[in-house]
Structure 1
Amino acid sequence: MSLPERFRDVAELEDALSQPSAALVDTLRRAPGDLMVLGVGGKMGPTLARMARRADPSRRVIGVARFSEPGLRDKLQAQGIECIEADLLSREALARLPEAPNIVFMAGRKFGSTGSEWLTWAMNAHVPALVAERFPRSRIVAFSTACVYPFVDVRGEGAPESVPPTAPSGEYANSCVARERLFEHFSHQYQTPGRLIRLSYAIDMRYGVLHDVAQKVLHREPIDLAMGYANVIWQGDANDWTLRSLAHCDTPTSPLNLSGPKISIRSVAQGLGRRLGVEPVLQGQEAPTAWLIDSSEAVRLFGPPSVGLETMLDWTADWVSRGGSSLGKPTHYEARDGKY
């Protein structure tokens, strides 16, 4: 796949984010049947659903959400995605959903968790239990997060899947451990095949770690270096790998780290500063630990990411310098206390 030098607008960006690889087209043949995306209305859901549809135009792709964003439902339906409005906290609403051999679970809550912890736990623990009970015979690829891991030494390669979730910081991270454990419980009970996708920071021009750092560089805001390292991956690759995971489900379900190589926040800020012609305002020093994951198992299954860091930096700097749109959803990658 040839990479563009820039994205002129949101339409061109979303087209790239939903472009399926030849490997995805081939892999999905090993996971036949309808595909349902639960929580399709989030940051990644629309382009993931569209990618699935483009990879196999004959396949029924169903997107389920509350569809609170104006125009999203119409846009997805125009792309061939069947949309169903439903509250996933409702057993009655779940009961009315059609059966689907393949499910990508993307529902969850992170931002706004502080002060509404009860809702965070309901979305991140109760909803997975309801879904796992409702669809015991489906393949379920469920989104999780790198935040289930403890901080690790920044000099290493990051936490592999063999590192157990251990006392992570904050209610959000703990609720994500609960999400995984409940999917695991019902996978053991019903022999439901699945994967728990421990994603670390997908990159879209409108949000993500690089977008956050670029905005701070551009507006000459201080960049805290305490959380000095992170893993990032182009959202198109994250979509592709997630969908390909449907053909690599385990019984019982198992975790799979999904991201790119470790990046330095200091180096990213300096690289964006050079591209933007602005000297970044760096503050503090890198802590010896960070939330980092080792995605070598995903690379073994799917190959290396198709988009490297330098290309993502070029795209990000170009996008923010032209005043490209933002989703207004900062990642809070710099938080070390787990409060979001």
Structure 2
Amino acid sequence: MNSIPMPTDETALEELLSRPGDGVGEALADLGGDIVLLGAGGKIGPSMATMARRALDSVGSSARVIAVSRFSDPAAAEQLEQVGVQVHRADLAVSESYPELPEAAGVFYLAAMKFGTSAAEHQTWWSNAAIPVLVADRYRGVPTMVYSTGNVYPLTPVVRGGSVETDDPAPVGEYAQSALARERLFTNAAHRWGTPTLVYRLNYACELRYGVVADIAATMAAGEAVDVTMPAVNVAWQGDISSWALQSIGAADVPPTILNATGPETVSVRRIATLLGEEMGVEPIFSGEEAADALLSDAGLCHEMFGYPSIGLRQLVRWVGRWVADGGRQLGKATKFQQREGKF
């Protein structure tokens, strides 16, 4: 049985989210130099940068971990510096920033725009398709892990078990289309400049303050109906997602390696709500009718490479239910997993 206790406050939660899994330190040390995380000021960047620092320390490596972002929140930058991560303030949307970006033995590209895209498509395409050109040019030949999304896949029949890496993309909506453009541009750079690249297609990362499970729990806590039109999802603990992502750079190649990242289960939205209700003492209310297809990914290759999640689905759901029932803070960034038309 998993003996990891539930985090009871945000300090303990951040410690667990940044706790490196087996093999992370060795994978980063094998790069032979400093690592740079671009767009490290978002939801996952701070804990992922902290994990990288802890992992390198665990294997006795003095390689620097450098987090690059505008860092509009000074507290986030200060917290990173306190754990030994070097902070480099830069706006990746501005081409003049690039000559000053630090040298690297490995690059992790986390920058993206998803939410608000339906009202600002021009910004979406600049963020997801123009910035990658600038990044790929700056870091020619440097092993690069590129965060992407399972949204590049089409909706697939639930009975099929999810898209695999060799399936043809068929993105729905401008966010997903621009995400595929990001992949294609980094792929071009890989071929043009011999840049080893790994494309990391994620859906969905969850922690206690954010993610599909937290979205459903918050809906239930507010007494609102859970929409089951998107009938099923894949989810995984954010700490495992970061741990796999950091290790995955060792599989970067030309042409790029594609890797799905999510949990092993295809779980119904109705089941998640039912399990949450048991923990929260709330009877779920449902709306809509389950469709026959959903946005699903098969991450079997990822699990074969790096193992199964350290925090299982039932444990994650229990933790989120208890956190929300106890009034724990939410990040206020809904995943909009229910969206079937690609409008975010």
- TM-score normalized by the length of structure 1: 0.97
Give the superposition deviation at 1:283.
1.1
Match of 1:198, SS state, is strand
Structure 2 equivalent of residue 71 of structure 1: 75
- 2:327 paired residue among 323, 327, 340: 323
Superposed, 1:178-217 pairs within 5 Å as: 178-217=181-220
1:5–1:315 CA contact under 8 A, matched in 2: no
Aligned pair 1:222/2:221, yes or no?
A: no
Give the superposition deviation at 1:3.
4.2
Aligned pair 1:33/2:36, yes or no?
A: no
Structure 2 equivalent of residue 4 of structure 1: 4
Give the superposition deviation at 1:32.
2.3
Structure 1 equivalent of residue 103 of structure 2: 99
The 3 A distance-change label for structure 1 pair 338 and 141 is same
Q: In 2, distance between residues paired with 1:82 and 1:73? A: 9
Superposed, 1:1-340 pairs within 5 Å as: 3-57=3-57, 58-166=62-170, 168-260=171-263, 261-340=265-344
Q: In 2, distance between residues paired with 1:108 and 1:31? A: 24
Segments of structure 1 that go 5 or more residues without pairing to the other structure are none
Q: In 1, distance between residues paired with 2:174 and 2:323? A: 34
Percentage of pairs with the same residue: 41
Give the superposition deviation at 1:235.
0.5
1:214–1:272 CA contact under 8 A, matched in 2: yes
Q: In 2, distance between residues paired with 1:180 and 1:142? A: 8
Give the superposition deviation at 1:92.
1.5
Match of 2:309, SS state, is coil
2:146–2:199 CA contact under 8 A, matched in 1: yes
1:37-70 CA-partner distances (Å, limit 9, x unpaired)? 0000111000000000000122200000010124
**1:254 maps to amino acid:** T
The 3 A distance-change label for structure 1 pair 219 and 102 is same
1:210-229 CA-partner distances (Å, limit 9, x unpaired)? 00000111222011101011
2:29–2:63 CA contact under 8 A, matched in 1: no
**1:317 maps to amino acid:** G
1:146-180 CA-partner distances (Å, limit 9, x unpaired)? 000011111111000001212x2211011001000
RMSD value over aligned CA atoms? 1.2
1:47-104 CA-partner distances (Å, limit 9, x unpaired)? 0000000001222000000101241111111111100110101222011111101010
Match of 1:255, SS state, is strand
**1:143 maps to amino acid:** Y
Match of 1:56, SS state, is helix
Q: In 2, distance between residues paired with 1:306 and 1:238? A: 10
Q: In 1, distance between residues paired with 2:245 and 2:276? A: 29
2:275–2:318 CA contact under 8 A, matched in 1: no
Give the superposition deviation at 1:4.
3.3
1:6–1:318 CA contact under 8 A, matched in 2: no
Q: In 2, distance between residues paired with 1:277 and 1:207? A: 21
**2:76 maps to amino acid:** L
Q: In 2, distance between residues paired with 1:4 and 1:331? A: 26
1:89–1:123 CA contact under 8 A, matched in 2: yes
Q: In 2, distance between residues paired with 1:112 and 1:154? A: 28
1:40–1:106 CA contact under 8 A, matched in 2: yes
Give the superposition deviation at 1:273.
0.5
Give the superposition deviation at 1:25.
2.4
Give the superposition deviation at 1:31.
2.3
**1:308 maps to amino acid:** G
Q: In 2, distance between residues paired with 1:322 and 1:304? A: 29
Give the superposition deviation at 1:2.
5.8
